[in-house]
Structure 1
Amino acid sequence: MRALLMTAPGRAEVGEVPAPRAHGGEVVVEVERAGVCGTDVELFHGSLAYIADGATRYPIRPGHEWCGRVRALGAGVDRGWLGRRVVGDTMLGCGRCARCRAGRHHVCADRTEIGVRGDQPGALAERLALPASALHPIPEELTPAAGALVEPGGGALRAVRAAHLEGGERVLVLGAGTIGLLAAAFAAVHGASVVVADPRPEALALAARFGAEGVDPADLTEESAFRAVIDASTGAPSPAAAVRLAEPAGHVVLIGLAATPSTLDSRDLVYKDLRVTAVLGASSGLEGAIAWYTAGEVVPDPLVAAVVGLDGVPAVLAGERPAGAGPGPKVHVDPHRRA
């Protein structure tokens, strides 16, 4: 089959690789659609922390936002999965440790992350093997775009849940990327009054489509404090800004990751009696994202700017925008498309 392979920092190519086989407890999925994520870009450039600490090594087969259809079953897998449209959990815990047994497999010390951490190949390929235990069914009527946006949607929904919103509260989302706009959409359907802050006018143009007001961060002051602030930005100063803009006794949720360390003064947290939550991964939010998408309450499709084949991915990873791309922040991949 054809797959994208990162062979070294700044080097990615599409080539033929052995097709996966379903071992015991596994399935093979034919990938319908996959997303190119900021994490994939960091893997491409070699800047992801997992590379520095040795958890991930080249060559890497990336891709962790996807949807597809189950085409093969390994021994012990329920035959009801065969032919079903599915998405999958990126986080694969060991299944044996106390964290996994308590339902916290996403922070298992020995976890692998599909296409990101460890040696589990990702979904920027025609087919993908993964444990059946990681599967979540999606309905036939869900669009390929929405299916491949379940994974980022699950993370965004977890961030909104961590904000503990009540109807009518003012919520600020820092960053109008995929996660930020999805968090805005989920906050809006929970009844919040949502503001999205981003310095890029083209990014803010989408905010209204997701139930939010768009503003330039430079226009925000401490006088306009918010009951909850969700930091979905990749800027190193953003967590401190989130703390500054949160009301006393409010919530700050950190889901964005900067390429360089961020600095927070713990006194600012204590003096404002803030509750701060960090979100890693989408695991416990996947079913909720599927439900909201299926009900039509959140429609993520406008986030997709373009769909390319595998051959178009190296240029996207290098920062090129596909010809004719729309305003959305996300580029999707149809692994079966040629040229």
Structure 2
Amino acid sequence: MKQVVLQGIKKMKLIDVDEPQLMSADEVKIRLSVVGVCGSDIHYYSEGKIGSQVVEFPFPVGHECSGTIVEKGANVKHVNLGDLVVVDPSVHCGECDQCRSGRPHTCRNNRFLGCPGQLDGCLGDYIVMPAFTCFPVTGSLNPVQAALIEPLSIGVYAVKLASLVDNKQSVAIFGAGPIGLSILFKLLADDVREITMIEPLDYRLNQAKEIGASHAVQADKENVVNRISEIHESLLDVVFEASGEQEAVDIALKVLKPGGKLVLVGIPPDAKYTFDMDLMRRKELSVINVRRQNHCVEEAIELVRSGRVDAEKMVTHNFKLEETGKAFEIVEAYKDGAIKAMIHFE
């Protein structure tokens, strides 16, 4: 089969490899349909690591995917051959303390698609996964929508963790990339209307406004603190940080009202943030970390299936498998108005 591997920093190659085989009666074989290019994939592409997770080349990245079931083990009942499925890229053990307490996303033995030292990525014709990671959506979603469920479910989980008191609270999102837009989609679906998007790239800001952001602040051309103060005299109840930038964290602490919440969703390039603890302490701010998604895939599927969320509005580019290198180059460099690039197999 064909597979794209990362051979070095910003070096990708299409190669031939053996097809994966079922190793258990609880597994399924999936023919890939669509794979989304994620920001974490770009970290591996441009830096070769995310914090302590360091790539050993060659390595196939990729984890946002949809595909069709072409083979299944004897124990698999909830999906059938030919089903289009959403694939949850996180494989938990089901036995550790985290899994038993309802936190499979922080499983002690977690293995994740396209994560160094865990599982190969999905940028190939076929993958084999435990059947429990697959959610059938035949007749409900198309392959692109199905592949977008993974980032959307992170947005759903982030909003869930924020625990907004009501839909009248004032909210801001730093970063109008796919994760920031996924947060925006969920907030709008919850009828939250006071949403400010903060983003330096005008084309991304325009897309956020088109989707439904009530206010837009262009970070490199406006004083964000002053602009937020004009919009909300008492400042913000919740800030979602989806850019991974230290400057965004610094500003967020200033624009949050006392008792406010900072929800960290973005991944900083050097895996570190610093905080003004004097300001945080005096305001008694809460900081919430978001680890992927937890029991939110089905809700994300329903949001798209019902039409409450049009996730395809974040898609700007489509490529064939053999064009994966070009896709990563465009997304990494923010070229050509890129927000979300999708790799198509069919």
* TM-score of the two chains, using structure 2 as the length reference: 0.89
| Deviates most, 250-259 or 205-214 | 205-214
Alignment-derived partner of residue 72 in structure 1: 71
- Note the alpha carbon deviations across 1:31-74, whole angstroms, 9 max, x for none: 11110111111112234225x455x4322111111111111112
Change (3 A) 1:265 1:132: same
Q: Of 223, 227, 242, which aligns to 1:232? A: 242
Residues 309-328 of structure 1 aligned to structure 2 (within 5 Å): 309-319=320-330, 327=337
How many pairs does the alignment contain? 332
Question: What code does the residue aligned with 2:199 have?
Answer: D
Question: What code does the residue aligned with 2:72 have?
Answer: L
Alignment-derived partner of residue 177 in structure 2: 177
* Partner SS, residue 120 of structure 2: coil
Question: What code does the residue aligned with 2:289 have?
Answer: A
Question: What code does the residue aligned with 1:158 have?
Answer: Y
Alignment-derived partner of residue 201 in structure 1: 202
Alignment-derived partner of residue 267 in structure 1: 278
- Note the alpha carbon deviations across 1:262-281, whole angstroms, 9 max, x for none: 21123322221222211111
Question: What code does the residue aligned with 2:327 have?
Answer: V
- Paired with 1:100 and 1:204, the residues of 2 have a C-alpha distance of 38
- Paired with 2:259 and 2:112, the residues of 1 have a C-alpha distance of 35
Is 1:220 the counterpart of 2:224? The answer is yes
Cα deviation for residue 20 of structure 1 reads: 1.4
Task: Give structure 1 stretches of 5+ with no counterpart.
Answer: none
- Note the alpha carbon deviations across 1:160-202, whole angstroms, 9 max, x for none: 1122221222210000101101111211221221111101111
Change (3 A) 1:138 1:79: closer
| Deviates most, 258-267 or 149-158 | 258-267
Change (3 A) 1:79 1:252: closer
- Paired with 1:7 and 1:90, the residues of 2 have a C-alpha distance of 22
Change (3 A) 1:139 1:169: farther
Is 1:103 the counterpart of 2:102? The answer is yes
Are the counterparts in 2 of residues 249 and 275 from structure 1 also a CA contact under 8 Å? yes
Change (3 A) 1:139 1:253: farther
Are the counterparts in 2 of residues 4 and 13 from structure 1 also a CA contact under 8 Å? yes
| Deviates most, 197-206 or 280-289 | 280-289
Are the counterparts in 2 of residues 26 and 77 from structure 1 also a CA contact under 8 Å? yes
Are the counterparts in 1 of residues 331 and 341 from structure 2 also a CA contact under 8 Å? no
Is 1:335 the counterpart of 2:332? The answer is no
Change (3 A) 1:117 1:94: farther
Cα deviation for residue 145 of structure 1 reads: 2.1
Cα deviation for residue 94 of structure 1 reads: 2.8
Is 1:154 the counterpart of 2:159? The answer is no
- Paired with 1:5 and 1:48, the residues of 2 have a C-alpha distance of 15
Task: Give structure 2 stretches of 5+ with no counterpart.
Answer: none
